[in-house]
Amino acid sequence: MPPEGEAIAEQVFTALADPTRRAILGALAAGGPATATDLAAGLPITRQAIAKHLALLAGAGLVTAEPGERRRVRYRLRSAPMQVAQQFLAALARDWDSPLGALKDHLDRVGPRARHHPNPRDPRT
């Protein structure tokens, strides 16, 4: 992972560490592009606080500002940085220990019943 990728992921995780920003990103993901006023109507915080968080999210490239109706700025979620962060999470979520444990059990179930050289240190023999 080039350092740029780490920087992108770090911005995503920093953004997600704050409950208000999580709520804003969640609202944009669920309902599509929205203005700060739209978002304030659905969240228990002031429009000013939302505008502050939106500015931070836009700076991090997680939302993009675009012209909306009546010359209001609308914010749209940008998924590309999320995909970079998701890749990091995929590595952390990968579990080989469970499948390898299952492989061990599987081999013990289907393997030949008679073992010619049982390992005396193996508690199962």
**Chain residues in the site for another protein (CB under 8 A):** 1-2, 4-6, 8-10, 58, 61, 63-67, 76, 78, 80-81, 83-84, 86-94, 96-97, 99-100, 102-112, 115-117, 119, 122, 124-125
Q: Please, are residues 40 and 25 in contact by the beta-carbon 8 Å criterion?
A: no
Minimum Å distance from CB 70 to another protein? 16
Q: Rank residues 26 and 118 by Cβ distance to another protein and give the closer one.
A: 118
By beta-carbon proximity to another protein, the closer residue of 3 and 44 is 3
Q: Please state the closest distance from residue 20 (CB atom) to another protein, in A.
A: 20
Give the type of residue at 28. Answer: L
Q: Which is nearer to another protein, 44 or 70 (CB)?
A: 70
Residue 74: partners with Cβ closer than 8 Å, 6 or more residues away: 33, 34, 35, 65, 66, 67, 68
CB of 113 to another protein, least distance (A): 12
Nearer to another protein, 38 or 81 (CB): 81
Q: Where are the alpha helices (DSSP H) in the chain?
A: 3-16, 19-31, 36-42, 47-59, 80-93, 97-110
Tokens, residue 41: 């109507």
* Structural tokens at position 100: 């390898």
